[in-house]
Chain A
Amino acid sequence: MKDMRTPRARVRGLGAARSGTTHFWHERLTAVALVPLVIGFIVILLSLLGRNHAATLQILGSPLVAIVMLLFVLTGAYHMKLGMQVIIEDYVHDEGLKLALLIANVFFAAAAGLAGVWAILKISFGV
């Protein structure tokens, strides 16, 4: 169906970027999730201190630990992408450099998230 709203009505509440409060909301959503996940991550790290490689793999690969680590890495990767984007938008005023850094930020966060997931899954499945 054709959109009957006026152009103003379509962007109202969505701002110049046309995405409204989505960035803000996702940053808060991931922040709320990261509070228990960071605590879980710290507990996992403490439980691994002083252990050898085999014991580390056994703990990291156990279901609950691996799932908490996966959630932590994925949520963290998305949260840090959102945060670094704001820093770049605030301080980098050269359009070309800003565009390059915004792209690099997404690539870095995506690669970091994927690399972490790969490592945790490899440890979990022992391949």
Chain B
Amino acid sequence: MADTRAPSARPISPHLSIFRPILTMMMSIVHRITGAALYFGTLLLLWWLIAAASGPNAFAQVQWFMGTFIGRLVLFGYTWALVHHMLGGIRHLIWDVGYGFGASEREWLARMGLIGSIGITFVLWTVGYMVMGGAR
């Protein structure tokens, strides 16, 4: 494979650090961060699934961890990342078919993505606690 590194004398294009942070840019960055977080969050899902498949003892361990403060925090983060990445993905799909590129439209999409992900996460957790209260 060829070495693609540019010689140091060559002018380089401006990068992240030179731009003023704006919402659409932050949402783009967070989309990638949540994607990477979900990548490793898959281990959590697999731990749970494999434990359920393995038996009551392994399953009880997962249940115990998810019930701790740290476990709840990780789950809450996973929920938000999943919803945020999904809404960000829908935003990309809207762009892919050619809509939402106007200044006010993309600003609205970015804002709805952020408000939506936080709102849906809180709704899901409220429903979750209500379901748990009912099932026990």
Question: Which residues of A are in contact with B by a Cβ distance under 8 Å?
Answer: 28, 31-32, 34-35, 38, 42, 46-47, 49-51, 53, 56-57, 60, 69, 73, 76-77, 80, 83-84, 87, 93, 95, 99, 112, 115-116, 118-120, 122-123
Interface pairs A-B: 3 shortest CB-CB: A50-B135, A119-B49, A50-B132
Q: A84 to B40: give the CA distance in the assembly, Å.
A: 10
Q: A31-B92, A46-B127, A115-B46 are in contact. Are A53 and B56 (CB under 8 A)?
A: yes
Q: Are the C-beta atoms of B53 and A38 separated by less than 8 Å?
A: no
Q: Verify if B119 is at the interface (C-beta below 8 Å from A).
A: no
Q: A49 to B52: give the CA distance in the assembly, Å.
A: 13
A127 CB to nearest B CB, Å: 10
Bitwise, B44-57 to A at CB < 8 A (1) or not (0) is 01100110110110
For A46, the chain B residues whose CB sits under 8 A away are: 124, 127-128, 131
Q: A81 to B52: give the CA distance in the assembly, Å.
A: 25
Q: Say which size band chain B's interface belongs to.
A: 35 or more
Q: A11 to B65: give the CA distance in the assembly, Å.
A: 52
Q: Are the C-beta atoms of B53 and A80 separated by less than 8 Å?
A: no
For B55, the chain A residues whose CB sits under 8 A away are: 53
A-B contact pairs, 16 of them (CB 8 A): A28-B96, A31-B92, A34-B89, A38-B82, A42-B82, A42-B124, A46-B128, A49-B132, A49-B135, A60-B52, A73-B49, A84-B35, A87-B35, A112-B42, A115-B50, A118-B53
Q: Are the C-beta atoms of A76 and B1 separated by less than 8 Å?
A: no
Q: Are the C-beta atoms of B135 and A120 separated by less than 8 Å?
A: no
For A38, the chain B residues whose CB sits under 8 A away are: 82, 86
